[in-house]
Amino acid sequence: MKPTVLVTGGAGFLGSHLCDRLIAAGNDVLCVDNFYTGNRDNIRHLLGHPSFELMRHDVMLPLYVQVDQIYNLACAASPVHYQTDPVGTTKTSVMGAINMLGLAKRQQARVLQASTSEVYGDPRQHPQREDYWGHVNPIGVRACYDEGKRCAETLFFDYHRQSAVDIRIIRIFNTYGPRLQMHDGRAVGNFILQALRGEPLTIYGDGSQTRSFCYVDDLIEGMVRTMDQNDAVGPVNLGNPVECTILELAETVLELTGSKSELVYNPLPFDDPVRRQPDISLARKLLDWSPQVELKDGLRETIAYFKTLL
């Protein structure tokens, strides 16, 4: 009998790619999404597939289904969306974790939490390792997401210690690729959209702040490997350790699109992290995983996708 895998947030950017991967591996997939930021077009090609089922449901409410594995990806992940409804963002992270852990406990299923590099806040340690506790403003405008994800990790470990729930936790660093939302406010999507439209590329701050950009296929590979291994519950950093300034990213997008757009500079948003780079030593050791897609190659694929939308 094929395993049944539940993917919450399955119509989102990462979730839809995960659904593709799981079906290709021979699983039955139950995709759950409330479509707050998910997009039906992301999974339209799977509708009607005998191994795919779509359920409109909000993880803030309990879910009673029979499953073997759970990937909990449900939560708005870009500042534009998670700051629009900060209370809903925190509730999605916390209540969603409680409901998925409850389901895992009832079904004796393994459950993976998609956490985030934002649990490190504006880090004082660089690069960031899993044993770093972070530097987070608990009352800032980003706290609904940062602290919501931190609390979700707490719940996962407490359910694991108290009730022996079989958990896995990954911390996802900046990820990009096809199906990235056009207007979610993140640098890769913003720059590509502006470049293709001939609009000025908006850089916040002086562009010296850094991020580490991981292509979606690499991220999904690491996620599945984390779920399938039996040696550690995590957390495990998943991201590209190659650090890049925002200005360098903008210049690369201009090069690849052939755009003549200018660069404009706006004030840096409040609490925006200055540096972000994962230490992936644990992922290399535990999962034999590291990103394989170079930034320019991944950006070419993402640009091609954005062209189809325009």
Share of residues in the chain with pLDDT > 90 (%):
84
Average pLDDT over residues 28-42: 95
Average pLDDT over residues 5-11: 98
Q: Crossing angle for the helix pair 187-197 and 246-257, nearest 10 degrees?
A: 40
Q: What angle do CA 198, 294, 224 make, to 5 degrees?
A: 115
- pLDDT value, residue 271: 62
If pLDDT is split at 50, 70 and 90, which confidence band does 276 have? confident
pLDDT at 13 over 80: yes
Strands (E), 185-287: 201-204, 210-211, 214-215, 236-238, 244-245, 263-266
Dihedral angle computed from the Cα positions of residues 14, 16, 18 and 19, in that order, rounded to the nearest 10 degrees: 160
3-state DSSP assignment of residue 102: helix
Rounded to whole angstroms, the Cα distance separating 97 from 83 reads: 19
Q: Which residue has the tokens 């919450």?
A: 8
Q: Which domains does the chain have, with CATH numbers?
A: 4-176+214-240+277-292 (3.40.50.720), 187-209+243-274+296-309 (3.90.25.10)
- pLDDT value, residue 54: 98
If pLDDT is split at 50, 70 and 90, which confidence band does 2 have? confident
If pLDDT is split at 50, 70 and 90, which confidence band does 264 have? very high
| Per-residue tokens: 139 | 């009352």
pLDDT in tens, 165-214: 999 999 999 999 999 988 887 899 999 999 999 999 999 889 998 899 99
**Active-site residue 64, yes or no?**
no
Rounded to whole angstroms, the Cα distance separating 122 from 137 reads: 9
- pLDDT value, residue 270: 67
- pLDDT value, residue 82: 74
- pLDDT value, residue 194: 95
pLDDT at 84 over 90: no
Average pLDDT over residues 44-66: 97
- pLDDT value, residue 203: 93
Total H helices, total E strands in the chain: 10, 13
Beta strands 52-56 and 28-33 are: parallel
Rounded to the nearest integer, the mean pLDDT of the chain is: 94
Q: Which residue has the tokens 């991020």?
A: 211
The one catalytic residue in 82, 120, 145, 215 is 145
pLDDT in tens, 112-165: 999 999 999 988 999 999 999 999 999 999 989 899 999 999 999 999 999 999
| Per-residue tokens: 151 | 């609390």
